[in-house]
Chains A and B, each alone.
Chain A
Amino acid sequence: MKGAAALAVAALVIAWLWASGFGWFDVTRFCRIAIDVDLLEGDRSAVRAAIDLVRREDPAAYRALCRWIDRIQEEHHCQAGDPSADPEVRRAQWYNVATLEPTLRRSFEAPACYVRGSRIIVLRRPRTEDARPTLVRARAEALTRLAVASQTFWTSRPR
């Protein structure tokens, strides 16, 4: 019996470490959000700091985040379109973000985006010039806004 109890405790500890190590885990609110970052350059702590800021400053937004988002991915950038759809870009095999059409350019610069049909928010990777407090604040604001976008998608689609 003692052995089984020890095994159960060990399994719980491993599950806790797994959930916390690879994501955001708040057992008091039953909130678990996976966080995917680059294996070598990624920094989950900056993502966790942004979630924590939402939790401290806006409990309603935090509840929405936990309810409607299950994964946060850090990528090079958001992308609301493919520059290669332009034959000129395909021929050149290169493009300058500054010359892209405005919507596409703004998506490349956005701190985060939500993908309709998923419960996933994509965060733009930090740039060298990004100061951490500014980055965390911008991400927290984006998480708050995009959790609402996910809620809107999932609650308004036809069943």
Chain B
Amino acid sequence: MTRSHLALGAAALLLAVLAGRYFVWIDPGARCMITIRPSLVGYDNTAIKRALATLQHASPGDYRSVCTHVGTINPNPACGGFGGGCFWHHQGQRGRATIDVSTEHGLIWTVAVIVHETCHARQFHEGRPPGFDLEHECYGEDDRIMRALVVFE
């Protein structure tokens, strides 16, 4: 074992730790793994992890839905802009979805956007018919989770 081997091993370990901390959510108990893309602006990826942990502990049903329908979270401002979210799909894409979730407005909003976009991913996977009011249902979902989780009095 030479010094260079040790240095390489240490660098690989450091990379694995950083990737585990910032770019992936793993919950073996729930068989849930979600990748988190690097964030170029705004807060770091741990904001997404805090939001997922909040759902995991306070709303297991919503958490299961995220794990079932979402495979990747992009924490950068995208089509939803700063503070919004987005769900992208095309007809050939049937697997777990990618959702854009901006984290600029803190924990409550991040949780709400994740639940909202997961609702769209679920609608897509369920093959909702054209003309169905997709947005109304999902705004109702994020409103519900905010009312359930926020204690202010």
Contacts from A to B (Cβ < 8 Å): 36, 71, 73, 75-76, 78-82, 84-85, 87, 90, 103, 106-107, 110, 112-118, 120, 122, 146, 149, 153, 157
Contact = CB atoms under 8 A, between A and B. Distances in A.
Given A115-B58, A116-B57, A117-B53, 17 more contacts: A36-B43, A71-B50, A75-B109, A78-B108, A80-B147, A81-B147, A82-B142, A85-B139, A90-B135, A112-B152, A115-B108, A115-B150, A116-B151, A117-B149, A118-B53, A120-B54, A149-B151
A75 B53 contact: no
A117 B152 contact: no
Interface string B123-137: 000000000000110
Interface residues of B, number: 30
Interface string B41-55: 001000000100111
A82 to B, nearest CB: 4
B59 interface: yes
A146 B151 CA distance: 8
Contacts of B56: 117
A130 B72 CA distance: 42
Interface string B97-110: 00000000111110
Contacts of B148: 116
Contacts of A116: 54, 57-58, 148-151
B interface secondary structure, majority: helix
B27 interface: no
B107 A115 contact: yes
Contacts of A110: 152-153
A56 to B, nearest CB: 25
B140 interface: yes
B150 A113 contact: yes
Nearest to A117: B58
B15 interface: no
Contacts of B139: 82, 84-85, 90
Contact of B152 (A73, A85, A107): A107
Nearest to A85: B143
B112 interface: yes
